Structure 1
Amino acid sequence: MISRFRSLIQRNLAAKIVALMVAVILWGYVMNEQNPSTEGSFTAHVQLVNVPEGYKVTQGTDKVKVTVRGARSLFVSNSDEDFEARVNLQEAKEGKGEYKAQIKMPQGFELLDVQPETVEVTLDPIVSRKVRADINVNGSPASGVTVAKVTQASAEVTVEGPSSAVNEVDRLIGYVGLTSKNDADFALQVPLTAINSDGREVSGVTIQPATMYVTVQMARGLTKKIVTIQPVSENDLPANLELVSMKPNPLQIEVAGAENIIANLTAVNTEKITLADVLQTTDKTVKLALPPGVTVTNHDVLVHIVVRNKKNGKSME
């Protein structure tokens, strides 16, 4: 049986080999004509893997363009969803970095190019810190009534989030609105907002707790008076700069107190303003340093600080 099969194979062996080669060539020719090799591109979704904990992760792009070569039938049977760009962050470091994407694609394709070649990924550590909380009182109370004292539950509140956002927070602020109905003491929970040194809201942070318990004590029979605001600063401006001016906004403020206390009061000072971090003309929000027995509706004031370079006298805008 075996010898007969071997004899059958070996009979006209050369002719059979030639026929096989011709068949292979013809098959390749037909396939190349009917299903030729071609080039094309797909859009691959970027997937981050091995992402470290304790960071806010931001990627520059979520898609890359993948250029491949393959049989025309492969382009018909596959789509963007069959391609994936994986970025391994196992060895990633804090901050911004460029990481190469590894392309996962269907069998039969030859990878020609990936654009962009790398994906920008930023790892921003999640941190928390205590920040000053200020309560501002706006509006006008009932006739003959003024704010005697505002008491807040805590002077500082915890802010948590990516370090870039948390470090931008200058203070937390909450607002208490007065109306003509406010003629007696009251208390309420005041929502807090994180703001930067320019007075703009900082997003992307969590305030814990998000509200502040505030009590407002009202008083009758106090005398009201308009006085000027006098900014007062520390003597800690950087050595290469000199102070040109400090201008408060508003220039004047209404204060209240017993008549014998405010009769001779013409101005109120701000708390001492540190200039150590002033590198150019800037604005700072500071509190008023009120004498005992003197009250104001809003303890905060914005001070415009102008500085210039000692060497050339140019204003530091």
Structure 2
Amino acid sequence: MISRMRNIVQHNLPAKILALVIAVILWGYVMNDQNPSIENTYTVQLDVVNAPEGYKITKDASNVKLRVRGPRSLFVSASESDFKAYVDLSKVEEGKHAVKVQTVLPQGFELVEAKPDTVTFTLDRIVQKKIKAEFIVTGSTAPGTTVAHVEPSVETVTIEGAESDIKEVTRVIGYVGLAGNSDDFKLKVPLTAINADGREVAGVTVKPASAEVSVQLARGLMKKVVTVKPILGDDLASGYEVGTVKSDPVKIEVAGPEDILSKLSSIETQKISLDGLTKTTDLNAQLAPPDGVTVTNSSVTVHIEIKAKKKTASGTASP
């Protein structure tokens, strides 16, 4: 049996080898000429895997262009959804990092180029901070009435967001509209985190997002506009001095009995601590009205110029 099989294999062996060579050549011709290798480009979404929790993650690219090569026949049924691009953030820590783009291709394709081949990621830690909420009264009440007291349901709130965004927040404010009311009233006031320019800081969440504010009105009081007088503490660090001090607003409307207001030309703030200040700063200051006098807004912003004292020839700061 074995001998018979050997005879069959060896019979006309040169012709069989020649036929095999011709078949391989023909197969190569068909594959290379009739089904050649070509290239195409697909734009795919960049996926992120193993992203660490507790961070705001931003990237400088959301899509990747993949240039791939493969037999023409494979492109007939291929679509963008068959190609994947991703980055693995399992070993990435806080800060800015360039991360290599990884790809997953269908069988038979090879990657020619990924553009971009690296993507810059920034990981910003999510933090919380407590801050005093300010309530600004706008508009006016009905004729013959004035605001006697504004009582919000919260005094401090928690802001949450990326650490870089939280550092931008200087105030959390809510606007209390009087809307011509003639009686005591309550309203729900949204709270907004803003920066030094008075613009909302995007990406920062205020908790709670709103406060209920009770507004008490009074009748028979006289109204008057007086100057705001900032009162500064004496705890400024040595080597520094105070320059210009200005409140915002400069003047404010107060209400009270005529015998008190007739003698009142200004209203002071509570003492403002300068401890730790080494540069020009805007601070929130509470007003300190005299007994019997009410103010619509109980706080103002005080701009305080802080500058280093000039050194004398001996190297000491001038007094």
> Shorter-normalised TM-score: what interval?
0.7 to 0.9
Aligned equivalents of 1:164, 1:209: Cα separation in 2: 21
Counterpart of 2:213 in structure 1 is: 214
Given that 1:198 and 1:283 are in contact with CA atoms closer than 8 Å, whether structure 2 keeps it comes out as: no
Counterpart of 1:131 in structure 2 is 131
The one-letter code of the counterpart of 2:148 is A
Q: Is the 8 A contact 2:279 2:307 kept in 1?
A: no
SS of alignment partner, residue 289 of structure 1:
coil
Aligned equivalents of 2:238 and 2:15: distance in 1? Answer: 99
- 1:19 corresponds in structure 2 to 19
Hey, what's the Cα distance between the residues in 2 that align with 1:73 and 1:272?
81
Over 3 Å counting, the alpha-carbon distance change for 1:308 and 1:127 in structure 2 is closer
Does 1:262 pair with 2:261?
yes
What SS is found at the alignment partner of 1:167? Answer: helix
Q: Which residue identity is paired with 1:265?
A: L
1:121-160 pair list within 5 angstroms: 121-160=121-160
Which AA in structure 2 matches 1:186? F
Alpha-carbon distance between aligned partners in 1 of 2:213 and 2:202, rounded to the nearest angstrom? 24
The answer as to whether partners of 2:277 and 2:306 remain within 8 angstroms in 1 is no
Q: Does 1:186 align with 2:193?
A: no
Q: Distance in 2 between matches of 1:6 and 1:57?
A: 70
Q: How far off is 1:137 after superposition? A: 1.3
Q: Is the 8 A contact 2:278 2:307 kept in 1?
A: no
Match of 2:250 in 1: 251
CA RMSD of aligned residues (A): 2.7
Give 1:2 deviation, angstroms.
4.2
Q: Does structure 2 conserve the Cα–Cα contact (< 8 Å) formed by 1:138 and 1:298?
A: no
| Secondary structure of 1:290's aligned partner | coil
Equivalent residue runs for 1:70-89 within 5 Å: 70-89=70-89
Q: CA deviation at 1:39?
A: 3.0
Ranges in structure 1 where 5+ consecutive residues have no aligned partner: 313-317
* Residues matched between the structures, number: 310
Percent identity of equivalent pairs: 53
**Contact 1:257–1:294 (CA under 8 A) maintained in structure 2:** yes
Separation in 2 of the partners of 1:233 and 1:4?
115
Amino acid corresponding to residue 247 of structure 2 in structure 1: P
Q: Shift in Å at residue 129 of structure 1?
A: 2.0
For the structure 1 residues 147 and 87, does the alpha-carbon distance in structure 2 shift closer, same or farther, using more than 3 Å as the test?
A: same
TM-score (norm 1): 0.86
- Mark the runs of 5 or more structure 2 residues left unpaired by the alignment: 312-319
1:117 Cα deviation from its structure 2 partner: 1.6
Q: What TM-score, normalized to structure 2?
A: 0.85
Alignment of 1:1-317 (within 5 A): 1-180=1-180, 182-234=181-233, 243-273=242-272, 276=276, 279=279, 283-306=282-305
